[in-house]
Amino acid sequence: MKTAVFTIKDHSDITKTMSYLHTNYTQANFENKPLVVEIKPEAKDRSKAQNRLYWKWLHEIHRKTGNDEDQLHYEFKKKFLIGILKRDDDEYAAMCLAIKTLKQSESEQYEAIANGVIRETSTTRIDTKQFTEYLNLIEAFALKTFGMVLPVPEDLKYALE
């Protein structure tokens, strides 16, 4: 039996969920493998869902382009995540300004420091709204640059809301 995840937003979603349970209960009972139903609020798993979708997209882009997933992760942080953090986090913005000053002074340490900051910058620093923005920027970039429509599995659609 295939695992299913249902997001319940209205009464019709309850009906679909119950229908799935009714359809699969007999098979599960026959196989002596009871169904397990877990009910939890959507918000608790939203950032995990966003992270799963993000890494799924990196894998899809890797498959299409051959670019390494870790390198894609690095490039997207550099291209999009840093801009979001500079805009929304004053301390991060001040650090970026200091790095920019290093670049302007033609310091030999600039590149090593800048690359280190990019490597250490993490999506764990952003909230779910910022992560949605980050995902939307990547989705638009993939469409424009690679002509790719990135897949959004049914159980992760809420990660973009």
Q: What is the pLDDT of residue 13?
A: 85
pTM: 0.68
Q: Looking at the structure, tell me whether residues 130 and 81 fall in a common domain.
A: yes
Claim to verify: residue 134 and residue 116 sit in the same structural domain:
yes
Tokens of 6: 């249902």
Rounded distance between C-alpha atoms, residue 64 and residue 4, angstroms = 27
Residues 48 and 35 occupy one common structural domain: no
Domain match, 76 and 110 both: yes
Q: Residue 156 has what pLDDT?
A: 83
Compute mean pLDDT per 10 residues along the chain, 161 residues long, and list them.
80 88 85 84 66 95 96 95 94 89 83 86 89 95 96 84 77
Residues 108 and 125 grouped into a single domain: yes
Alpha-carbon span 83 to 12, nearest angstrom: 40
Do 146 and 68 fall within a single domain?
yes
Which domain covers residue 53, as residue numbers?
43-160
**pLDDT value for 100:** 87
Q: How far apart are CA 32 and CA 95, in angstroms?
A: 59
